[in-house]
Amino acid sequence: MATLDERSFAAFYERNRRAVWAYAYRVTGRAADADDIVQEAFCRVIGVEIDADDEEGLRRYVFRIAGNLMADRWRKATRERSWLDRLRGTSEMHVDPAYDNGVSREFAALTPRDRALLWLAYVEGHNHQEIADALGLARSSVKVMLFRARARLRRLLTARGVVASVL
């Protein structure tokens, strides 16, 4: 085990920053938050004793850090939200019109965990073990949680009139 040297880190960052940013944006719904999460996630990789030759392991590690950072933000926002905001049912998720692809509002209505599960499974193509590792879940829970997240998204898309037969 060794830390990444400067050149290896720069190359790793360039190969993976967009994917981590897209993941963070789709889960948080805010470009500024995605920027912060990507920066913090990659900063935490610097100096970590990890197998620098294991590209996929390092990639999963960055996604796990990003997932943990998003969960921390969500918990903090939940704690800070006043009872009046909760009573009104305001959403912490804001969809930036510049990045809206027509499904963003429905995706934004999901919980952060559901968004993370769906993103990792269907956009990043991770298997159940990789998702469990990235989100700090038990592997046996991922299949059920994915099924429920898909069902919630399907209901939202169906209510909007979008054909959701692929879900």
% residues pLDDT > 90 (the chain) = 29
With contact defined as beta carbons under 8 Å apart, do 100 and 107 qualify? Answer: no
Residue 165 lies in a domain: no
More confident residue, 144 or 4: 144
Distance CA 153, CA 107 (A): 7
Q: Are 63 and 124 in contact (CB under 8 A)?
A: yes
Question: What pLDDT sits at residue 116?
Answer: 86
Structural contact between residues 94 and 30, judged by C-beta atoms closer than 8 angstroms: yes
Q: Is the pLDDT of residue 103 over 80?
A: no
pTM of structure: 0.58
Q: Is residue 86 part of a domain?
A: yes
By the 10 Å C-beta count (0-12 exposed, 13-18 middle, 19+ buried), 105 is classed as middle
Name the percent of the chain lying above pLDDT 70.
Answer: 78
pLDDT average, residue stretch 137-164: 85
Long-range CB contacts for residues 137-145, cutoff 8 Å, separation at least 24: 142/117, 145/113, 145/114, 145/117
CATH of the domain at 146: 1.20.140.160
Question: Is 126 contained in some domain?
Answer: yes
Residue 35 belongs to a domain: yes
In eight-state DSSP terms, residue 103 is S
More confident residue, 56 or 87: 56
Assign 8 to helix, strand or coil: helix
Q: Is residue 23 part of a domain?
A: yes
Does residue 39 belong to any structural domain of this protein? yes
> How many structural domains comprise the chain?
1
| Domain contains 167 | no
Beta strands in 8-54 (DSSP E): none
In contact, 34 and 28? CB cutoff 8 Å: yes
What domain range includes position 27? 6-160
Domain assignment of residue 36, yes or no:
yes
